Amino acid sequence: MDLDELIVKVNAELKNVHYSDLCLKRFATVWNRLRDYVGQDGQNLYTAKIGMDFLEAEYGITVYTKLTQRNRRCARAVNVLTDYLLHGIIFSRRMQPRLTFHRQFQKVFQGYIDKKKADGSSEDTVRSYEIYLSRFSAYLNSRGIAVIDSLDESVVLGYINTLVKHSPSVIHTTLCALRTFFHYLFQNGFASRNFAYIVPHDGYRKRTKVPSAYPKEDVVKLLKSIDRGNPKGKRDYAIILIAARLGLRAQDICNLSFNNLKWETNTVEIVQEKTDSSLVLPLLEDVGMAIIDYLKYARPQCNSTNAIFLRLVPPIGKLEAPTLHSIVTQHMNNAGIKIQDGKKHGPHALRHSLASALLEENTPLPVIAEILGHRSTATTSTYLQIDINQLRTCTLDPLPFDWEKGEEVF
């Protein structure tokens, strides 16, 4: 796209999502320098690659450099151009650098990731493989490997030995990624040897974890602690109430739009992100009132999304699931709710707490499964592990013992 045209569009969009004049002025300074850089070849076209090359040439910024505050602003000025060019929107600030592979391996590693996507692997799987293989790429670079075909057993085993610091699940996924990656290298002629055979099988088996749940008293305490006298409090209260009363997952709360609220029937109707299945829940009175309070007095004006819950700082837009985790955790701390080591404390913990409360009320498992949007009661049955009172009813009285004979009496 023509750079000047892109800058005009991005500038208008930044104003639309309420960026400050000072921020726009700082961006303009970087964009002017970018114009000079692009114009050196008599061109005025902008691409994502040109943006990255510009940052490296003019500011020494790469994905591997630790950024100063000034350089972070410069990178942000270029990133918003790239975001709009590729996606037509402005994303919120990236708290972590984009994952990438070292230059000498970029084509090979990215080719493997693209194949995983083409083969239908889930987004979560692809993302995990990107993370673990980017670490492998960094290790190869640190060992001075310039060509992928120069790998040998000592390098591969050396990297595998570094995995001991990670959790069993991370080790397992990393080994799976390495194994399939080495098959890919060999089958596509990037490596003359297939090192998959030396990647060990760890025998890892995923265990069903006991869900983290909080007693009703803590949930009530959490809701009462939220100050609803300001926009953030109104938004956070509505979000936490939905998680606690309806048990929606974080991503489904983020995805809630005006179309999902059926006021005429007092229902919430969604298609769940995780299972892609429909779910209809009652729009409880207190939940509905909290949403109305937020919509009338706290939701920012935003024409770019139909989502109900929005960021309150620029760029104004839809909330992301990790933000909901931070929101719940913050208010739990404010409420003085003690969070034990290893215990979950995000919106999913409120979902678990709802399931626990329903079990305590002797709600049938199929009903709980329907409320939580589970496809099978087998999934819901894991919540039985947190209902201690129900488990106590399953205990058996000990058999009588004849002490003279030294045996149990049947």
The model's pLDDT over 211-257, given as tens digits with 9 standing for 90+, comes to 567 888 999 999 999 999 999 999 999 999 999 988 888 889 999 99
Please state whether beta strands 267-271 and 278-282 pair in parallel, antiparallel, or not at all (unpaired).
antiparallel
Could you give the residue numbers annotated as active site? 249, 274, 348, 351, 374, 383
Which distant-in-sequence residues (6+ apart) come within 8 Å of 359 by Cβ? 368, 383, 384, 386, 387, 390
The pLDDT tens digits of the residues spanning 97-153 come to: 445 677 888 889 999 999 998 998 877 788 889 888 988 988 888 888 888 888 899
Cβ neighbour number for residue 162 with a 10 Å cutoff: 12
Closest by CA to 254, choosing from 315, 301, 305, 330, is 305
Mean pLDDT taken over the chain: 82
**What pLDDT is stored for residue 369 in this prediction?**
64
Give the CA distances from residue 294 to residues 235, 267, 308, in Å, rounded to whole numbers and listed in that order. 6, 18, 9
| Predicted local confidence at residue 357, as pLDDT | 73
Superfamily covering domain 216-392? Intergrase catalytic core (1.10.443.10)
| 256-265 b/e (C-beta count within 10 Å ≥ 16 → b) | beeebbeeee
Res. 44: pLDDT tops 50: yes
How many Å apart are CA 66 and CA 184, to the nearest integer? Answer: 32
Question: What CA–CA distances, in Å, run from 156 to 139, 152, 166, 347?
Answer: 10, 7, 17, 40
b/e code 222-239 from CB counts within 10 Å (16+ = b): bbebbebeeebbbbbbbb
Instruction: Please state which CATH number belongs to domain 103-198.
Output: 1.10.150.130
